[in-house]
A and B are shown apart, each in its own frame.
Chain A
Amino acid sequence: MSIKKLDQAALDRWVDGLIERKKVVGAAQRGDHFSFGELTSASELRLDYDMSILPPKKYFLPPTEDLISFRRDGGFESIFEEDPMVLLGVHPYDMFAISQLDTLFSEDNDDIHYRKRREAITIVASDVQTASEDVFAGCMGTATIDHGFDILLTKIGDQYLVDIRTEKGQAITMGFGEMPDATDDDLDQRERLWAENQKVLRKHELRPAVGYLPKLLGESYDHPIWEEKAELCFSCGSCNLVCPTCYCFDVQDELNWDVTSGHRYRIWDGCMLANFAIVAGDHNFRAAKSERFRHRYFRKGKYIPEKIGQTGCVGCGRCVSACVAKIANPVEIYNRIAEGKE
């Protein structure tokens, strides 16, 4: 729609103005790490953050979310918990992940609990200023992005380019006075920054081409790496839980104290957890750690791509950092199975 330009002070005024009118969530410092949280002042916003502990997925698919209220004598009603907000500072790889969840939750059977939340959130994405320790988005084609967001912020020198793409984005920039237009030179600089980010966000170097992963995995079902890595796996699910594209969930009923009414909620689950594939009668269809470990890498590199044509890993590297046993680096795994091929 239009690309504007703001200096830091104008950006802060804009964010403070938004905070007065709306719930505004952004990347902020938390100890020596960063996380997304509700902002009370623009000064808390850290657009130079490297990585948030959890991805912004938590606003689209919260760790627990009520779905249905019920009465035990019969009667169910939908519960919708949409939470309108402006989400500030979503990195490109996380934006790719959100777009992927949009597809997965809407296709075949539209999940309106997800959709209502999604529609209530205005996303202000932000190009990465500081590369995190384990990011490899550059290898996954997700270091920069040109769609999916409502606004994209890019820091060029001491200015921010404000790339407004949607009506929703337009709506939150109205009433803040005139923003000057970006110049052709600004846009050239942004192009150069994008090229640079694609090089910089490669703390791990994936050797096989991303498009080759489904075929590669197809030939590696019995590769020794699954057993080898799973030897050290705690089945703790940390890699699942910090992943911006993992969306498996369990569903539970919770009774009120009157035990005649209650609600049904979903809660994050993970395919690495021991009982993920267990059925009534206690048969576990993925009982071995190595089977669960393999499933995760197949899902990211083969099953999801075959379903929607995009790789299920966006290269944020959160799983690499979160794994206590240090076995969950997708790049290391995909490189290993590619050894000796091609």
Chain B
Amino acid sequence: MSKPRVAIFDFACCEGCQLQIVNMEEEILDLINLVDVVEWREAMSEQNTEYDIALVEGSITRPEDEERIKEIRGRAKILVALGACAVIGGVNKLKNRFDLEDVRRYVYHDDADMPHLQTAQTKALHEVVDVDYKIPGCPIDRKEFSYVVKCLAVGKKPEIPSYSVCVECKMKENVCRFEYNEVCLGPITRAGCGARCPSNGFWCFGCRGLVDDPNVNAAKDVMEKYGKTIDDLKHRLALFNTDEERAHA
């Protein structure tokens, strides 16, 4: 069986997810043994238009991005969204709360009118093209990335947890962040990160997006039990989950 050809692309992002792949250290050799990486701007100079699996980091923020992701989709048998920006739009979606023209002038000042600085509403990949699999998180979890790659190599459909971060947080025997009077998004955020933030003394920021059927109404009532307001919750949600925050206005 020939090795699947993998190409890695990026759109609007910090490339932190690709850095997680680079940082796999000795495991990166295992990865390269298993798949043929044919294009990866972050780590190699070759370009290639023939590939089976496209791993795509970043969100779609410009009209020309839409054309490019459609072309990638057209070439790839399997398209995997890599990280919060690609999976849910992530931090980039904060832009959608403002007037785009204001945003562009605020960021680029005098250069704002240059043609390559056109901007559009931020979209996650699935809002533009069909996405086969999603590896959420800011950044992605290396263990989960390895799991997905191995699954794809043997034709298995990878399963990303449907349950909340609380599951992994309890397994780590952390003290619940609510006990520290913090608003933690763990109960409504999709697990898979090993509850990394709560295990290191932070609340969950919700970077992996919400679970399939988040009980947002409960979240509102629960806020009151802890002397918090719905605005405290919305404030926390806005960072990675602008769409959900606005949907529950």
Contact = CB atoms under 8 A, between A and B. Distances in A.
Nearest to B29: A257
A274 B167 contact: no
A259 B150 contact: yes
Contacts of B153: 259
Interface string B39-72: 0000000000000000000000000000000000
Interface in A241-294: 241-242, 254-255, 257-259, 268, 270, 273-275, 289
Contacts, number: 101
B163 A325 contact: no
A187 interface: no
Contacts of A159: none
B173 A325 contact: no
A233 B151 CA distance: 33
B175 interface: yes
Contacts of A274: 162-163, 211-213
B204 to A, nearest CB: 11
Given A231-B218, A257-B30, A257-B31, A236 B166 contact: yes
Interface string B117-153: 0000000000000000000000000000011001101
B187 interface: yes
B150 A255 contact: yes
Contacts of A254: 147
Contacts of B174: 53
Interface string B181-209: 00000111000000000000000000000
Contacts of B171: 63-64, 241, 268
Contacts of B111: none
A39 interface: no
Interface in B217-234: 217-219, 221-222, 225
B218 A241 contact: no
Interface in B157-180: 162-164, 166-167, 170-171, 173-176, 178
A270 B218 CA distance: 20
B166 A324 contact: yes
A35 interface: yes
B34 interface: yes
Contacts of B213: 235, 274
A274 B150 CA distance: 26
B215 interface: yes
A120 interface: no
B2 interface: no
B9 to A, nearest CB: 24
A87 interface: no
A232 B171 CA distance: 22
Contacts of A238: 166-167, 170, 176
A31 interface: yes
Contacts of B166: 234, 236-238, 241, 324
Given A53-B173, A53-B175, A235 B163 contact: yes
A259 B30 CA distance: 10
A32 B221 CA distance: 27
From B164, B166, B212, name the one whose CB has the most chain A CB atoms within 10 angstroms. B166
A33 interface: yes
A269 to B, nearest CB: 9
B113 interface: no
Contacts of B215: 232-235, 289
From A33, A54, A236, A238, name the one whose CB has the most chain B CB atoms within 10 angstroms. A236
A326 B164 contact: no
B114 interface: no
Contact of B164 (A31, A54, A234): A234
B154 interface: yes
Contacts of A259: 34, 150, 153-154
Interface in A57-83: 58, 63-64, 72
Given A231-B218, A275-B162, A242 B150 contact: no
Nearest to A35: B173
A241 B33 contact: no
Interface of A: 30-33, 35, 53-54, 58, 63-64, 72, 231-238, 241-242, 254-255, 257-259, 268, 270, 273-275, 289, 322, 324-326
17 contacts: A30-B173, A31-B175, A64-B171, A234-B187, A235-B164, A236-B167, A241-B167, A255-B150, A257-B150, A259-B153, A273-B167, A274-B212, A274-B213, A289-B215, A324-B166, A324-B176, A325-B218
Which 3 residue pairs spanning A and B have beta carbons closest together? A257-B30, A241-B170, A236-B166
